[in-house]
Structure 1
Amino acid sequence: MYYFVNEYLYDKNSGIEHAEFKRLQLFKHLHVPAKLVTREYNPMLHRIITKFGLESDDVVNMFDFFQGAVELDTDQAKIQRAAINFRYEIEPDPTISKVYRGDLLNNRVLFIAGTYGQLNVVESFDRYQNLIRAEQWDWRGFKSCIKYYDADRKVIREEYLNPEGTVVIEAAYGSDGIAQSDMTYIRLVNYQGEDYYFYNIEELFDFFLSELDKQQTPGENAYIADRPLTTYKPVMNIPGTSRKFIYLPMVQTEAEANDKNRSYILATGKLNPIYEYAFAKKNIAPI
């Protein structure tokens, strides 16, 4: 299996992602098994990939992998599955429905744009009207993540669930608590009968790639690291005999500081810092 390793796929992508789409199309044409690999959690991933002519089987996402949702069929979750107390007063709306307990807002139910009432996020509020919890629903119809907030509406903790509703990943955030790079603690819960602990998303990604390499053809896979700053090191650190390649999507050298024309001299120019780890002497095996 060939794996094209990246960080994310979004509605709008860079040339790196579009190159991967074309490469995957070529491999399919040649009947060579290949998949895209992404790191970031994205509950709309399997909606997005259809926009680019991909199928769910073409992509392996790290969170899908540990949630046991890589090959999940698509369903539609409606408000009946949101555990809303229908004795409360509900103010219906096709975009955001509000649920009141007396005069206080108890929940907001956000629906996925362009759908007929398909669940996106269910928010819960305390008596002081602070957002304290948000349930994120996956495009394929299952509750996939629960976020917990502090009084400043910063995410302090997350729980990632499998389609059966069991927590499989727990994560905590630092004071900034916005991006997944701010994760300060991750617990992989009962994975193959054991708990695993990580200090950041990078450590979890390393572990994920090593586990992915054990699937299908262990030690006989090929990994192409496509995004320099986030995939080179994890791919190069995959243990075992699988082949590892790095793709160089940007100019390999820096322009001279006093060069107004921003010309790049590949033969003698200074190496672009994004490639320094990949080309460090300790990481280059002798031929």
Structure 2
Amino acid sequence: MYYFINNTVNKQQSGIGHAEMKRFHLFKKYKQPVKILTTDFSRSLTDALRFHGVDDQSAINMYDFFGKTAHVPTRKFGIDDLHLPDKFKVEKIDKHYDVTQDARLIMRIVMRDDKPDWIESITYFDSAKRIIQGDFWDCRGYRSLQQFYDRKGNVRVRRALDNHGKPFFESFDFHKDYDGDHQTLYRLIGYQGYDWQFSGSKNLIQFFFDELVKQDRERGENDIFVSDASLADAWSLLHMRQPAFKVMHLHNNHSNNEFDVMHGGLNFNYEYSLDNFKRWQGIIAPSPSQAHDVAARFGDQPKTFAIPVGVVPDELFNQPKQDFSKREPGRIVMIARLSHEKRIDHAIKAVAKAIKKVPNITLHIYGYANDESGDKAKKLVNELNLKKAVTFEGYTDDMDAVYNRAQLSILTSTTEGLPLSLIEAQSHGLPIASYDVNYGPRDIVNNDKDGFLIKSGDIDAMADAIVKLMGNDQLRQQFSDAAYQSREKYSEDHVWKHWQDFDRDANRFFQNLGEAVD
């Protein structure tokens, strides 16, 4: 069984989340047993998984595993289901209800935004109007979490409940730091007839991984863990006691020095994993160039596999190519989180320069904000008087429409892994102008054929590339035709061949393991 590991799954996914889902559906298509594995407690997880086409049988969450709540049916739970006493007064205020008795606030009931007649949470108050308890509902309609507060409003105890209201997990927060770790005690209640205590989440997750492997081995299955969130789960994976094929998946530059990937400091997301390089059974890099550099820096054991994170679905290959005359004249798109490493300001400044020579161009930025970069970028747009030319479109799921409408895609990041946005743009026949950063752009873009690779940080050169492409209809069409040809290397069949090579190595591991046991 393949397990693709992440903290959680959200409806609005990051690039890593999108890559994981593309891989999951590729495995499903080729009938390779696979599950999405998550370790965070999330009340909205089931809705998010279903949104991305993942059913209950194809996902496993640590808390659902221990609570035996993986296959709970969804049902409505509203205010009437509370059966409040007649002596309580219930008053609707905006999106919540206040429940009082003799003018004293007893509880506050908050309803879900997407289902206004379903309960989201209930907060309970003492006679001094201090919060003493919070109850929270899972998206499937049952109370799944309780929190208990001290007199200062700090959460002291969290309790996870199954769909029958029985607690199966507790955490106790001591609000003390020791060696940089916030001290919390974790406890599983009644698991296999015993209560289990853990000094932190890493130990709990390790126990979960081991229990999962034991369960699968009893059914004759070998487990392959692909970690898409090694910052959170590497320690737990590398301290497992049960045999499994454990692989760290790189999604970005392994070094935080884009100019010296062989000696520069390590990206903090991968530092622990790479410091323990030889304890893995394999490493996955999304591009051949990064796979080469990782092997050169850390060694050839374990093997570093070069497997693309992007997959162009067969459905897209079967669709007619977008007629360039149907694209919106001058429309440039940038698909990126509004985050400092994406250098949104470079794209805006480049457009400010290019628009002087090609007045009809517009830049449309798609992505959610996760730091102050979004506000800074919007301020820059105002300062440069580009409000009519630059639009922040937010997050969207309809990427086909985004790419089919545009004439050019640009990327100005400081570092990447193998940017999905460029693969997707290319697969829709879009010319590309991208900074030539580690890693990905040079693996995707064929310079001067289907796009332009530009020295990292050179805003003037980016502006020149925009002018060159957006000012020449014939060149754009030529690059678009080439882009459609270039996308072949990310076809489902091509990417799956890489995974078949990987699978053979994993099977050899288990074969050798069996021989050693014999």
TM-score, normalised with respect to structure 1: 0.88
Alignment-derived partner of residue 84 in structure 2: 84
The answer to whether structure 1 residue 119 and structure 2 residue 114 are counterparts is no
Bigger radius of gyration, 1 or 2? Answer: 2
For 1:20-99, list aligned pairs within 5 A: 20-82=20-82, 84-92=84-92, 95-99=95-99
Alignment-derived partner of residue 195 in structure 1: 195
Alignment-derived partner of residue 254 in structure 1: 256
Structure number with the higher strand fraction is 1
- The CA RMSD over aligned residues, in Å, is 2.3
The answer to whether structure 1 residue 280 and structure 2 residue 275 are counterparts is yes
Contact 2:11 2:52 in 1 (8 A): no
Alignment-derived partner of residue 222 in structure 2: 220
Q: Provide the rounded CA distance (Å) in 1 between the counterparts of 2:176 and 2:115.
A: 33
Q: Provide the rounded CA distance (Å) in 2 between the counterparts of 1:93 and 1:118.
A: 16
Instruction: Flag the 1:182–1:44 CA change in 2: closer, same or farther, 3 A.
Output: farther
SS at match of 1:214: helix
- After superposition, the C-alpha distances for 1:131-179 in whole angstroms (9 at most, x for unaligned) are 11111111111111111112232211111111111111111113279xx
Unpaired segments of 5 or more residues in structure 1? 256-262
Alignment-derived partner of residue 157 in structure 1: 157
Alignment-derived partner of residue 242 in structure 2: 240
TM-superposed deviation, 1:182: 4.4
TM-superposed deviation, 1:196: 0.4
Contact 1:82 1:122 in 2 (8 A): no
- After superposition, the C-alpha distances for 1:98-155 in whole angstroms (9 at most, x for unaligned) are 1111111111111111214111101111111111111111111111111111223221
TM-superposed deviation, 1:50: 2.4
Give the letter for the 1:206 counterpart: Q
Which of 222, 243, 266 in structure 1 is aligned with 2:261? 266
TM-superposed deviation, 1:83: 5.1
TM-superposed deviation, 1:217: 3.8
Q: Provide the rounded CA distance (Å) in 2 between the counterparts of 1:201 and 1:284.
A: 21
Contact 1:4 1:34 in 2 (8 A): yes
TM-superposed deviation, 1:208: 0.9
Instruction: Flag the 1:86–1:53 CA change in 2: closer, same or farther, 3 A.
Output: farther
Instruction: Flag the 1:11–1:237 CA change in 2: closer, same or farther, 3 A.
Output: same
Instruction: Flag the 1:54–1:92 CA change in 2: closer, same or farther, 3 A.
Output: same
Q: Provide the rounded CA distance (Å) in 2 between the counterparts of 1:195 and 1:24.
A: 35
Q: Provide the rounded CA distance (Å) in 2 between the counterparts of 1:270 and 1:158.
A: 38
TM-superposed deviation, 1:270: 4.2
Ranked by relative contact order (alpha carbons within 8 Å, sequence separation 6 or more), the top structure is 1
Greater shift in the superposed pair: 223-232 or 92-101:
92-101
- The total of aligned residue pairs comes to 277
Q: Provide the rounded CA distance (Å) in 1 between the counterparts of 2:280 and 2:161.
A: 40
Give the letter for the 1:90 counterpart: V
Give the letter for the 1:5 counterpart: I
Q: Provide the rounded CA distance (Å) in 2 between the counterparts of 1:20 and 1:142.
A: 29
Contact 1:94 1:117 in 2 (8 A): no
Identity %: 26
Q: Provide the rounded CA distance (Å) in 1 between the counterparts of 2:117 and 2:236.
A: 40
TM-superposed deviation, 1:2: 0.5
TM-score, normalised with respect to structure 2: 0.50
Contact 1:94 1:111 in 2 (8 A): no
Q: Provide the rounded CA distance (Å) in 2 between the counterparts of 1:271 and 1:134.
A: 41
Q: Provide the rounded CA distance (Å) in 1 between the counterparts of 2:238 and 2:45.
A: 26
Structure number with the higher helix fraction is 2
TM-superposed deviation, 1:273: 4.2
Alignment-derived partner of residue 480 in structure 2: none
